């Protein structure tokens, strides 16, 4: 087939139209809705408010609280996942006895549905019936307000996130570690480099590209956290654990405030894009050095 053969349009355009229909159109429709005051309950006819929804959101303390909460959960949880995940991946890569069993056991949390994990966690942290407080009570200690105090509730959510998603980090980093060439380590040992020196001089820099990718994926995923928070705290107490997605859910599916929710979704998209671009910009010099 010639490069300029018009038949190519017959093959390309149906695909382009399908893509337009299923992804671009909803996006444009949603963007249009974000400029409207549009409620399903109580039913109100759509009214153009231009940037009104965006301005209202940016002036809304609850929106900034949701951004802060989401960022706190995402950054802390992903940071801990990376550190713990790297340590466990190194241990598994060192071919310790029973390594296969550990590998399977460590992966189990990731295979569970987040809703089920959150439900189990809610029971574990239950202030009166949960085993954790019962254990504390057994030792004569006071019950801790795991899910009824804002800070404790945030810590519990982060703990569950770390427990569930560290296996993903382990899996990815372990795969990366297994591709590192052995001869560099042999050379380092000949130079009497300590394990610590080998880690910082060889392992960590060589793992930087895959680390960057893993952290990026987890960061984006963590910003979308919804199910764990929804089941464990419902965003409470007050709005102390309310994340952006939960806020959007409350506005969209409980108050049926469609225009406002669309604006919120687009601000969320912008925030994620800024975070992603900043993250990649900060890492670029280090990554380019490795090329």
Partner 1 sequence: MLRRTLLMLATSLVTVYAVGDAKAACSPDYSGVTLTVATQTGPYIASALKLGADEWSKKTCGKVNVVEFPWSELYPKIATSLTSGDATFDMVSFAPAWLPDFVPYLTEMPKDMQSGKDWDDIEPAYRERLMVWDGKIYSQSMDGDVHTYTYRKDLFDDPKEKDAFKAKYGYDLAPPKTWKQYLDIAEFFQRPDKGLWGTAEAFRRGGQQFWFFFSHAAAYTNNPNYPGAMFFDPETMDAQINNPGWVKGLEEYIRASKLGPPNALNFSFGEVNAAVAGGQVAESIGWGDTGVIAADPKQSKISGKVGSAVLPGSDEIWNAKTKKWDKFPEVLPGPFMAFGGWQIAVPKAGKNQQAAWDFVKTLTSPEVSGQAAITGGTGVNPYRKSHTANLELWSKIFTPQEAKEYLGAQADSINGKNVALDMRLPGYFSYTEVVEIELGKALAGQTTPQAALDAMAKEWNRLTDEFGRDKQLAAYRAAMGLPPKK
* Member of 1, 5, 6, 42 binding partner 1 (CB under 8 A): 42
Nearer to partner 1, 254 or 289 (CB): 254
232 near 160, Cβ under 8 Å?
yes
* Member of 109, 127, 201, 209 binding partner 1 (CB under 8 A): 127
**Contact between 147 and partner 1 per CB under 8 A:** yes
Residues in the interface with partner 1 (CB under 8 A) total: 30
Return the biggest CA–CA distance within the chain: 83
Q: Give the residue among 274, 272, 281 at the shortest CA–CA distance from 222.
A: 272
**How many of the other CB atoms lie within 10 Å of CB of 143?**
14
Binding segment for partner 1 (CB under 8 A), chosen from 92-100, 165-173, 176-184, 246-254, is 246-254
Binding segment for partner 1 (CB under 8 A), chosen from 85-93, 100-108, 145-153, 207-215, is 145-153
Binding segment for partner 1 (CB under 8 A), chosen from 34-42, 66-74, 103-111, 221-229, is 34-42
* Member of 22, 41, 96, 190 binding partner 1 (CB under 8 A): 41
Nearer to partner 1, 93 or 148 (CB): 148
**Contact between 52 and partner 1 per CB under 8 A:** no
Query: CA–CA separation, 247 vs 66, rounded Å?
Result: 7
Degrees, nearest 5: CA angle 98-101-107: 135
**Contact between 239 and partner 1 per CB under 8 A:** yes
3 backbone dihedrals φ, ψ, rounded to 5°: -60, -35
* Member of 112, 204, 253, 269 binding partner 1 (CB under 8 A): 253
Burial of 37: CB neighbours in 10 Å, binned 0-12, 13-18, 19+: middle
Say which residues have a Cβ less than 8 Å from residue 15's Cβ, sequence separation at least 6. Answer: none
Nearer to partner 1, 6 or 61 (CB): 61
* Binding track over 187-226 against partner 1, x by CB under 8 A: ----------------------------------------
**Contact between 55 and partner 1 per CB under 8 A:** no
Q: At what angle do helices 61-93 and 150-177 cross, to 10 degrees?
A: 40
**Contact between 44 and partner 1 per CB under 8 A:** yes
239 near 62, Cβ under 8 Å?
yes
163 near 108, Cβ under 8 Å?
no
159 near 246, Cβ under 8 Å?
no
**Contact between 151 and partner 1 per CB under 8 A:** no
63 near 263, Cβ under 8 Å?
no
Nearer to partner 1, 168 or 260 (CB): 260
Q: How many residues does the chain have?
A: 291
Q: For the CB of residue 120, give the shortest distance to partner 1 in the complex, in Å.
A: 17
Q: For the CB of residue 126, give the shortest distance to partner 1 in the complex, in Å.
A: 8
Residues near partner 1 (CB under 8 A): 37, 39-44, 62, 126-128, 143, 145, 147-150, 234-240, 250, 253-257
């Amino acid at each position: 087939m010639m490069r300029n053969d018009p038949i190519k349009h017959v093959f390309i355009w149906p695909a382009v139209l399908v893509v337009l229909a299923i992804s671009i159109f909803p996006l444009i429709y949603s963007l249009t809705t974000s400029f409207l005051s549009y409620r399903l309950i109580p039913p109100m006819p759509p009214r153009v408010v231009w940037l009104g929804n965006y301005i209202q959101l940016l002036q809304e303390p609850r929106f900034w609280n949701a951004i802060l909460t989401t960022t706190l959960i995402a950054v802390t949880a992903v940071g801990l996942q990376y550190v713990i995940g790297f340590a466990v991946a190194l241990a598994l890569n060192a071919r310790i006895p029973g390594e296969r069993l550990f590998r399977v056991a460590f992966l189990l949390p990731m295979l569970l549905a987040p809703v089920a994990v959150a439900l189990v966690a809610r029971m574990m942290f239950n202030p009166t019936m949960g085993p954790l407080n019962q254990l504390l009570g057994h030792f004569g200690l006071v019950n801790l307000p795991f899910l009824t105090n804002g800070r404790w509730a945030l810590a519990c959510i982060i703990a569950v996130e770390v427990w569930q998603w560290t296996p993903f980090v382990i899996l990815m980093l372990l795969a990366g570690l297994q591709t590192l060439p052995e001869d560099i380590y042999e050379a380092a040992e000949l130079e009497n480099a300590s394990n610590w020196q080998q880690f910082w001089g060889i392992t960590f820099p060589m793992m930087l590209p895959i680390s960057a990718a893993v952290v990026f994926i987890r960061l984006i995923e963590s910003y979308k956290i919804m199910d764990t928070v929804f089941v464990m705290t419902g965003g409470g107490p007050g709005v102390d654990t309310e994340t952006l997605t939960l806020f959007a859910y409350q506005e969209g599916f409980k108050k049926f405030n469609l225009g406002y929710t669309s604006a919120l979704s687009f601000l969320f998209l912008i925030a994620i894009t800024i975070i992603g671009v900043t993250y990649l910009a900060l890492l670029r010099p280090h990554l380019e050095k490795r090329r």
